[in-house]
């Protein structure tokens, strides 16, 4: 079967968006990105305000079989000067790689994956990258690393010489459509203060004038960038000072954040923890969150 690997063309945008959104929806239910949002990521990533300015080259490849885009990859090359963070200096990355898995009506996609990734590896070598990484950071909340729902992607990266050498992260989700909790503050005179935080709206737990903990939440709906994200939010930070832990403060903060998000007509919220962060995971599960996926970050080419 003839496989054509070439650079992305604007006329590919609908097929590429369909392929990308199929991967997103397998991880986060009902989530999708607009064609414009996807095209924006191919040109720049303004949300990555630390790392994105270090990028000096971008390239997107597609693999085509019988006029169908069956796989695609987006590559980044980072600068080598002193302004670039040490771990990225001179490096290159497969920012994401996606492909349709084998199906009875299309059984030869593995070959397409391998041919496309060989072209990617050749390009990384042509860039003379000091280190080569791979990831699955699509432009949608909760979709990064190589999620458990993409075994075909992980297998293809392994065949291309990449290994998972980083960490695993657990992504949790809670459906806020259920009845709100109405628990009183766990400590006398505990109050909440709402301010702007570094990762969205910050709800601080105040004991008198002292902030003993906080939670930061961000609504994810943006009609210009995401097609189906209205009603979603995520927790950027949840922290309680040591003397006040295991006393219900974190659960109360989640309750206060839930009430605030419901006013914004948010009905689903994402939260993140590593497997070793058992206390954080326990707080989430005891407050109605369930595990959505586990994702592997830190794929490195040997």
Question: Which pLDDT score, from 0 to 100, does residue 178 have?
Answer: 72
CB-based contact 119:127 (threshold 8 Å): no
CB-based contact 24:141 (threshold 8 Å): no
d(CA 200, CA 217): 5
Whether 4-164 and 174-295 share one fold: the answer is yes
d(CA 285, CA 280): 9
> Tokens 């050749």 identify what position?
122
- Those residues of the chain that have pLDDT short of 70 are 1, 179-181, 221-229
Question: Which pLDDT score, from 0 to 100, does residue 220 have?
Answer: 83
- The dotted CATH code for 4-164 is 3.40.630.30
Q: At what angle do helices 278-286 and 249-263 cross, to 10 degrees?
A: 50
**Bridge partner list, 68:** 65
What's the CA angle centered on 158, arms 130 and 98, to 5 degrees?
Answer: 90
Query: Could you tell me the fold of the domain covering 174-295?
Result: Aminopeptidase (3.40.630)
Question: Which pLDDT score, from 0 to 100, does residue 222 have?
Answer: 60
Question: Which pLDDT score, from 0 to 100, does residue 231 have?
Answer: 86
Question: Which pLDDT score, from 0 to 100, does residue 229 have?
Answer: 58
How many alpha carbons fall within 13 Å on the CB side of residue 209?
A: 0
Question: Which pLDDT score, from 0 to 100, does residue 108 have?
Answer: 77
> Tokens 């909760």 identify what position?
142
How many alpha carbons fall within 13 Å on the CB side of residue 169?
A: 15
Helix (H, G, I), strand (E, B) or coil at 144: coil
Using a cut of 0.85, tell me whether the model's pTM lies above it. Answer: yes
Domain ranges of the chain: 4-164, 174-295
């Amino acid at each position: 079967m003839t496989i054509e690997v070439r650079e992305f063309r604007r006329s590919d945008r609908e097929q590429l968006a369909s392929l990308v959104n199929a991967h997103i929806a397998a991880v986060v239910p009902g989530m999708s990105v607009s064609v414009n949002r996807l095209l924006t990521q191919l040109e720049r990533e303004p949300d990555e305000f630390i790392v994105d300015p270090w990028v000096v080259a971008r390239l997107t490849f597609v693999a085509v079989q019988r006029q169908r885009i069956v796989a695609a990859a987006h590559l980044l090359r980072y600068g080598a000067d002193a302004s670039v963070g040490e771990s990225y200096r001179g490096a290159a990355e497969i920012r994401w790689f996606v492909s349709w898995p084998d199906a009875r009506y299309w059984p030869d996609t593995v070959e397409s994956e391998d041919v496309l990734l060989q072209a990617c590896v050749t390009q990384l070598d042509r860039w003379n990258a000091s280190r080569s990484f791979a990831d699955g950071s699509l432009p949608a909340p909760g979709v990064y690393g190589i999620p458990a729902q993409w075994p075909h992607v992980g297998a293809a990266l392994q065949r291309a010489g990449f290994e998972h050498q980083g960490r695993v992260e657990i992504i949790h989700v809670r459906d806020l459509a259920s009845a709100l909790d109405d628990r009183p503050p766990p400590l006398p005179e505990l109050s909440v203060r709402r301010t702007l935080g570094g990762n969205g709206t910050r709800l601080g737990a105040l004991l008198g004038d002292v902030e003993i903990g906080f939670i930061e939440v961000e609504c994810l709906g943006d009609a210009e960038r995401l097609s189906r994200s209205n009603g979603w939010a995520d927790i950027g930070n949840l922290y309680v000072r040591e003397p006040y832990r295991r006393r219900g403060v974190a659960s109360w903060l989640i309750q206060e954040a839930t009430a605030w998000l419901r006013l914004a007509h948010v009905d689903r919220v994402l939260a993140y923890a590593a497997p070793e962060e058992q206390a954080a995971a326990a707080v989430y599960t005891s407050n109605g969150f369930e595990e959505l996926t586990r994702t592997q970050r830190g794929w490195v080419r040997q």
